[in-house]
Amino acid sequence: MAVKTQELKLDIERIGPVSAILMQPANARACYVLAHGAGTDMRHASMDKIALGLSERGIATFRFNFPYMENKQGRPDQPAVAHATIRAAVEEGARLCPGLKLIAGGKSFGGRMTSQAEAKAPLPNVKGLAFLGFPLHADKKPSIERAEHLARVEIPMLFLQGTRDGLADLGLLKPVLAKLGTRAMLHEIEGADHSFAVLKKSGRTNDEALAEVLDTLATWIDQLA
């Protein structure tokens, strides 16, 4: 199957350009605007695997760097900068993939910033948000404050969460999502951590766990109106 990969620049108003990558299979039926986590960039091996795996499932991905990662600064951007970056990425994803169903979200920090941006003002043309490990709280600091804005998100949300995720106590996350009703769907990856890695004694590999993540995501995208 032919897959077109383009290295691009994403211009963020009043902030400047960042690097981006569009990976688009010939038979793409949707585009996922995929934001990276706090400690990685868009070229991290995990991001490559996700983008490649989704392309094999007929889903295009538009990846981009947040400005702090583009400029090799240690601390993540302020939320306003992250939100502006996501808005620019969503607009560019829609422009590059006309006619394709548009989804947004990403890994950890990137997913949370996307949901915050959507809660502030709907992201144009985005049909749903997908979180690859929503970071409900800091490690060993259980709390639900980071989820308060989710009540203001009015489009469908998919939460793909490992049962060993140290940044999301499922005992806290489940009641939060229950309050969101049919807008929120939770899929648990048995034995997986925040990066969807599993223990050897689980009897399956990290690649098999990731395949479950990507299969679930592709099915959910297909079911979106």
pLDDT in tens, 99-155: 999 999 999 999 999 999 999 999 999 999 999 999 999 999 999 999 999 999 999
DSSP per-residue codes, 77-116:
PPHHHHHHHHHHHHHHHHHHSTTSEEEEEEETHHHHHHHH
Q: What percent of the chain has pLDDT over 70?
A: 100
Contact 34, 110 (CB under 8 A): yes
Per-residue confidence band for 33, with pLDDT thresholds at 50, 70 and 90 = very high
Q: Which amino acid is at 64?
A: F
**Average pLDDT for residues 67-82, to the nearest whole number?**
96
- The reported pTM is 0.97
Close Cβ partners of 91 (under 8 Å, ≥ 6 residues apart): 124
Beta strands in the chain (DSSP E): 3-12, 16-25, 30-35, 59-64, 101-107, 126-132, 157-162, 184-189
153-181 burial, b for 16+ CB within 10 Å, e for fewer?
Answer: bebbbbbbbbebbebbbbeebeebbeebe
Q: What is the CATH number of the domain that holds 209?
A: 3.40.50.1820
Q: Residue 225 above 90 pLDDT?
A: no
pLDDT the model gives residue 74: 85
Q: Residue 1 above 80 pLDDT?
A: no
pLDDT the model gives residue 29: 97
**Average pLDDT for residues 46-74, to the nearest whole number?**
97
The number of folded domains in the chain is: 1
What's the domain range around 186?
A: 3-223
Q: What percent of the chain has pLDDT over 90?
A: 99
pLDDT in tens, 145-193: 999 999 999 999 999 999 999 999 999 999 999 999 999 999 999 999 9
pLDDT the model gives residue 119: 98
